[in-house]
Structure 1
Amino acid sequence: MGHGHGHATAGAVHRKRLMIVLPLTLSVLVVQVVGALLSGSLALLADAGHMATDAAGVALALFAIWIAGKPASSRRTFGYQRAEILAAAVNAVVLLGLSGYILIEAVRRFANPEPVGTTVMLVAAVAGLIANGIALWLLREGQQDSLNLRGAYLEVLGDLLGSVAVIAGAIVIQLTGWYPADAVISVIIALLILPRTWKLLKEAVDILLEATPKGVDLAEVREHLLETPGVTDVHDLHAWTITSGVPVMSAHVVVDVETFSQCGPLLDRLHECLAGHFDVEHSTLQLEPAGHVDHEGARHLWPGDSRPGATG
């Protein structure tokens, strides 16, 4: 017996903001690429490369939101909502690759410093700082709700910090003439990207592997369900996430004979429990009489499962 609700993905709610951020990011990308070529700055080129990844990430996010909004079918019962998580994972992998390239090139430049045109470097970095500040403001709210938007937000944040670092590097070179500062700033940009990107990738992989949603304790869920009058046991309890903001749950619920004949009100109470206590709006519960578990086929056990022999 199931209980279903329609969901607009968290990313879709903020689509318009992404549509503003994309052309803004592309404009700054052009400025920074031209600036890097004219100035010879690796730091500015690294920031431009990050902007390119940022633009690709936002474009990918918009595509994922569009495809996630396509209706469900008999072949894809949750539609394409998981596409948002795939987009977040791709963004993270690309960012990790970019960071590696920047680090390698920075080491080469540090060993063999090259002259840098600081005026062009400074102007392009300031333009990037302003644009990234606007984009960050546009995405600040949506990144709390959507993993995909969080990926775009983290990329823009990295760009903004990168622009600050490039500005600092340009000023240092202007004042001291120490060209290795450009390579040092490049390393700083790469190191700013790595930790947040790794966290994003880990969260995306957890969802793709259908790990229990963060903050959900299945043992606590089971205890709440068992407190419902008429429920004598709960087993085959599973929880996972389809996409950001869409957790789902399923369970086999054993009820006594008297309650089994009045399953409608019981289902309402169980679904209200899951939605109210654990924010799970989509749950599938199989009601069954005592003893049914003894002749069930495939059994999916976890360490907290209540059935005899449930060892994980």
Structure 2
Amino acid sequence: MEHEHTQVTGKRFFFVTVLNILITIAEFFGGFISGSLGLLSDAVHNLEDSLSIFISYIANVIGRKHNDAAKTFGYKRAEILAAFVNSSILIVITILMIIESIRRFRTPQHINGTLMMVVSVIGLAANFISMIALWSSSKDNLNIKATFLHMLSDTLSSVGVFIASIFVTLFQWYWVDPLITMIIAIWLSKEAYDVVKESVNILMEASPNIDLNAVKAAVLTVPDVVGIHHIHDWMIDGNYIIFDAHINVNKNCNMEELEKIYREVEKILKEQFHVSHVTLQAECTRGLKEPLIF
């Protein structure tokens, strides 16, 4: 099943890459001929997208490799690295788009609105198809989400270029072209920043969004558990949470009872807090008065 999913994902990545290359060629020619900054910035964006899609696909393949002696937690973070790289590149591109938009405000250029409109419609259709192709897989995978964000940004950019082409064609308002470009760039930079922030948190092994006081209260409902401390929790990727803690138990617990306690605590952590991997160390009085995080 996993191999089949990888093949399907690979086909979608390949399809979206080819489609983006064709869009890029069309928009470069259309942008140069019409004089539209929106089309040129969209073309540059699509060119970078083709590279980001390739990076995402390679990371997706690596991330599905099984655990081994070299990587006991597996290769899942390859996709987090890809998400970080792709989103960082997107931020750089949006900054360049804003700078060029400001320059165009100062020195407006003549634009062929009709050609701009035709090319933007072609780009919009192709970008929308690419976005739909990756949409279903973007919900639970930060790497594919970053690539999907690129596709979404391309789609919105094409919408913006199309709207600008209407004003250019009807009223010769050439300033609308850089204005639309700037608005889209600002919005995209915010979305890309969110992905960068999330990927950095995972790479820095920041704690997932779990209320540790709620964890403590839930764990203490297990019979014979009287304390919990020395908690560490982190994420391997956007979904895989690891939890490590010391628990204090009654002195009279034997090994069979201790194993039962482990199973009950693990069940609580997985069902209530969506923890994927649990490691517990049992103690009697040692650390009983230590804080949750040590």
What is the TM-score when the length of structure 1 is the normalising length? Answer: 0.86
Matched, 1:223 2:205: no
Structure 1 segment 236-247 matched on structure 2, within 5 A = 236-247=230-241
Matched, 1:307 2:289: yes
Matched, 1:45 2:27: no
1:11–1:200 distance in 2 versus 1, CA, 3 Å: farther
Q: Following TM superposition, by how much is the alpha carbon of 1:230 offset from its aligned partner in structure 2, in angstroms? A: 1.8
* Match in the other structure for 1:132: 127
Secondary structure of 1:285's match? strand
Unaligned stretches of 5+ in structure 1?
1-6, 294-305
Q: Deviation above 4 Å: which 4+ runs of structure 1?
A: 10-16, 309-312
* Match in the other structure for 2:191: 196
Compare 275-284 and 184-193 and name the one that shifted more.
184-193
Secondary structure of 1:259's match? coil
Q: 1:21 aligns with which of 16, 19, 28?
A: 16
* Match in the other structure for 1:121: 116
Q: Following TM superposition, by how much is the alpha carbon of 1:118 offset from its aligned partner in structure 2, in angstroms? A: 2.2
Q: Following TM superposition, by how much is the alpha carbon of 1:217 offset from its aligned partner in structure 2, in angstroms? A: 0.9
Matched, 1:168 2:150: no
Compare 238-247 and 50-59 and name the one that shifted more.
50-59
CA–CA distance in structure 2, aligned partners of residues 199 and 89 of structure 1: 10
* Match in the other structure for 1:142: 137
Q: 1:235 aligns with which of 229, 235, 244?
A: 229
Q: Do the aligned partners of 2:229 and 2:292 also contact (CA within 8 Å) in 1?
A: no
Q: Do the aligned partners of 2:208 and 2:233 also contact (CA within 8 Å) in 1?
A: yes
Count residues in correspondence.
291
Q: Do the aligned partners of 1:253 and 1:286 also contact (CA within 8 Å) in 2?
A: yes
Compare 157-166 and 279-288 and name the one that shifted more.
279-288
Counterpart code for 1:188: I
1:258–1:311 distance in 2 versus 1, CA, 3 Å: closer
Structure 1 segment 1-312 matched on structure 2, within 5 A = 14-214=9-209, 216-262=210-256, 263-288=258-283, 290-293=284-287, 307-308=289-290
Q: Do the aligned partners of 1:11 and 1:148 also contact (CA within 8 Å) in 2?
A: no
CA–CA distance in structure 2, aligned partners of residues 35 and 311 of structure 1: 58
Cα deviations by residue, 1:119-141 (Å, 9 ceiling, x for unpaired)? 32222211111112112222222
Counterpart code for 1:173: V
Counterpart code for 1:50: H
Counterpart code for 1:90: V
RMSD: 2.3
Unaligned stretches of 5+ in structure 2?
none
* Match in the other structure for 1:301: none
Counterpart code for 1:104: I
Counterpart code for 2:173: W
Q: Do the aligned partners of 1:12 and 1:65 also contact (CA within 8 Å) in 2?
A: no
Secondary structure of 2:44's match? helix
Counterpart code for 1:105: E
CA–CA distance in structure 2, aligned partners of residues 16 and 100 of structure 1: 32
Q: Do the aligned partners of 2:31 and 2:37 also contact (CA within 8 Å) in 1?
A: yes
1:76–1:311 distance in 2 versus 1, CA, 3 Å: closer
